[in-house]
Structure 1
Amino acid sequence: MAHDARALAGCAVLGFGLAIEPQVWAVIFVMVRIGAAFITAPVFGAVTIPLTVRVSAAGAIAFLVLGTHRIVPPAQVFGVATFVAVAAEAVIGLAIGFVLQTAFAAPLVASELVGASMGINFASAMDPMNGRPSPALGQFFTVMLTLLFLSVDGHLVLVEMLVKSYDAMPPGAAWLDARHLKNIALFGGYTFVAGLLLALPVGFLLLCLNLVVGMMSRAAPSLNLFAVGLPASLTVGVIALATAFPAMGDYMLVIIRESLAAVESLVLS
């Protein structure tokens, strides 16, 4: 009797192992797309976010996807078809996160334009979001855009788009075609347009100031431009930034809406 009981227990443990292994492989397979999106997406891809947090969030969303979708991972873990499927999942996730990260580059473009006119581009510090030095004004704009992104639940929209992507682009047929790649490239051009429009109010005033300083230098050649122009640029730039903050915040919301619409178009089109 004891021998039969041990045999039945062994069979039960073996059956449990055989039953759970496909489920674990399915979770890992689904986590590839989600984890790739978290690597390139803003907020989730920040270097200040611990790796364990990202992996845990990807695993939790993977369980959600498996509960609402019928995902069939490749039968063999090690095989050419499996590597191709994993690469396709990674490409989809990287594309989704890259579109949002592209929009977050617009404030850096604006800070370069404004900072060069104000003469404060030399003031740089380590960016906690990207882990590399960037202008202080660019960090301020990035933090402002990140807070607005979180305030409009952009991170939740990203998770929703990741879940919906398994309906529009199920595993096994999840290759980006030429149309999707073209839309991603065209949205990259929107970054420069958005950065220019974001810096336009302050940049226009600083341009007018530089024109006035240039005319003064022609009228009075002995005038020291560095003693007059730099303090004037800093003063006008700070006042213009403080005045234009509400309008810049509104346009940052437009940038966020455009980026989320681009992600939705990439996923659902």
Structure 2
Amino acid sequence: MLGFGLSIEPQLWALLFVMVRIGAAFVAAPVFGSVSLPLLVRVSLSGAIGVLVLATNSIAPPPSVFAVATFLSIAAEALVGFAMGFILQIAFAAPLIASELIGGAMGIGFASSIDPQNGRSSPALGQFFSIMLTLLFLSMDGHLVLVDMVVKSYAALPPGQAWLGVDRLKAIAFFGGYAFLAGLLLALPVGFLLLCLNLVVGMMSRAAPALNLFSVGLPASLAVGVVALAIAFPAMGDYMQVIVHESLGAVQTLVLG
């Protein structure tokens, strides 16, 4: 089975082959790919879902491990898994874009800390939005929908025929523009109020040149931004649900066409 006179159990080899697509999807997905999730848990979930896939689908792994065709099949499986997780990662970038727009207008763009999801530094407001989007994603059973799409992908994109076509790769690229659109719409209520405030402060500075713009504009922007966030957050939460629906719909379109 392995080549070079070595052998492996067929069931174990089939499970390892199936886990490639599942593991790639979990690595790229927002919740499952978090650095706070232990690697052992991620591998265990991949193995458990792999057993489910083998029980519901007839998977024929490549006959030999050390072969060029096998490496190409593994690359195709990893590509499909990464594509499904990457679509969700694109949607989860929308709150970070919104936080950059709002934080820059409020004057708190410099406030950043380590994001526990990816281990990198990100704006504090963006972390707040990302946590809320993650909680909405889990409350809407988005993680279960992702697992369901991964299992269904073995029937729609069976191993050996799993290379994504040009139309599906093009759809992924165009969905990347949705992150900028969603981030702009998410920041629109608060950003519009802050823009109006900046216009008022600008007219005040022109009418009274002796007025210190920084001593008046920065506290006013911060206060208006906090109040606007408190008022507009229910509407922003509703639009975050739309973002989750759109991302899961894009994953379904990628898998089922």
TM-score normalised according to structure 2 size: 0.97
State the match for 2:72 in structure 1: 84
Amino acid of the structure 2 residue aligned with 1:168: A
Paired residue for 2:108?
120
Describe how 1:1-269 pairs up with structure 2 within 5 A: 21-269=9-257
**How many Å separate the matches in 1 of 2:37 and 2:209?**
54
Measure, in 2, the Cα distance between the counterparts of 1:222 and 1:56: 66
The letter of the residue matching 1:228 is V
Work out the number of aligned pairs and report it.
252
Unpaired segments ≥5 residues, structure 2: 1-5
Name the SS of the counterpart of 2:209 in structure 1. coil
Residue by residue over 1:17-55, the C-alpha shift from the partner in whole angstroms, topping out at 9 and shown as x without a partner, is: x99700000000000000000001010000000000000
Deviations 1:195-254 (A, max 9, x none): 000000000000000000000000011110110000000000000000001000000000
TM-score (norm 1): 0.93
Structure 1 distance, partners of 2:83, 2:22, is 11
Counterpart CA distance in 1 for 2:179 and 2:124 is 20
Deviation above 6 Å: which 4+ runs of structure 1?
Answer: none
Q: CA RMSD in A?
A: 1.1
Q: Name the CA distance, whole Å, in 2 between partners of 1:193 and 1:123.
A: 24
Deviation of 1:131 (Å)? 0.3
Task: Find the residue that maps to 2:158 and give its secondary structure.
Answer: coil
Specify the SS of the correspondent of 2:197. Answer: helix
Separation of aligned partners in 1, 2:85 and 2:223:
38
User: Quick one: distance in 2 between partners of 1:131 and 1:209?
Assistant: 35
Please state how far the C-alpha of 1:263 moved relative to its aligned partner: 0.2
Structure 1, unaligned stretches of length 5 or more? 1-17
What secondary structure is seen at the aligned counterpart in 2 of 1:134?
Answer: strand
3-state SS in 1 of match to 2:9: helix
Q: Secondary structure at the match of 1:176?
A: coil
Report which of the two structures shows the higher radius of gyration computed on alpha carbons.
Answer: 1
Q: Aligned partners of 1:91, 1:247: CA distance in 2, in Å?
A: 36
Q: 1:109 Cα deviation (Å)?
A: 0.3
For residue 16 of structure 2, give the secondary structure of its aligned residue in structure 1: helix
Q: C-alpha separation between the residues in 2 aligned to 1:220 and 1:47?
A: 52
Q: 1:241 and 1:130 mapped to 2: Cα distance?
A: 25
Of all paired residues, the percent bearing the same amino acid is 73
SS in 2 for 1:164: helix
Structure 1 residue 126 displacement after superposition: 0.3
